[in-house]
Amino acid sequence: MRVNITKPHARGQARNAEEEQLDRDGDGKTAWEEYVADTDPTNAVSVLAFTGLRLEGGAIRLDWKGGQWARQDLDERADRSVSAPAWSCVLTNAALPTSVTNFTLRPDTGATQRFYRIRVER
């Protein structure tokens, strides 16, 4: 599982480029990444991250946490090799604020592995 953060063209909350690159709360995300994901750069518990993956009746349930005011796209991919098909989006949280923090997928039969990532954009 992976979390991708897409930077918008205009920067906003952080004071300067150096400040934007700091991870003051030690959660692994810079202030700028936290701004884009709508999480709190001063609270380590507030971070965009997967929190769970489990099987439920043959389906896969993914859980995550993050901000409410950032568009989130949940992507899926069967293989990470260069020749494999690209990521495909299986869920978009475009209506903000979002309260969606989980998704249940029914994988194709015969699939032996799946990769997931969340992309955010503001």
Which member of 37, 47, 48, 120 binds Ca ion (CB under 5 A)?
A: 47
Q: Are 47 and 34 in contact (CB under 8 A)?
A: yes
- Of 14-22, 35-43, 72-80, 85-93, the segment contacting Ca ion by CB under 5 A is 35-43
Residue 25 sits in the site that holds Ca ion (CB under 5 A): yes
Which member of 30, 46, 72, 93 binds Ca ion (CB under 5 A)?
A: 46
Q: Are 90 and 105 in contact (CB under 8 A)?
A: yes
Residue 27 vs 76, nearer CB to Ca ion? 27
Say if residue 37 is exposed, middle or buried (CB neighbours under 10 Å; 0-12, 13-18, 19+).
buried
Residue 40 vs 63, nearer CB to Ca ion? 40
Pairing mode of beta strands 71-77, 102-105? unpaired
Residue 20 sits in the site that holds Ca ion (CB under 5 A): no
Which member of 3, 5, 20, 27 binds Ca ion (CB under 5 A)?
A: 27
What's the rounded Cα separation, in Å, for the pair 59 and 72? 21
Nearest distance, CB of residue 94 and Ca ion, angstroms:
23
Report the interface residues with Ca ion, using CB under 5 A. Answer: 25, 27, 39, 46-47
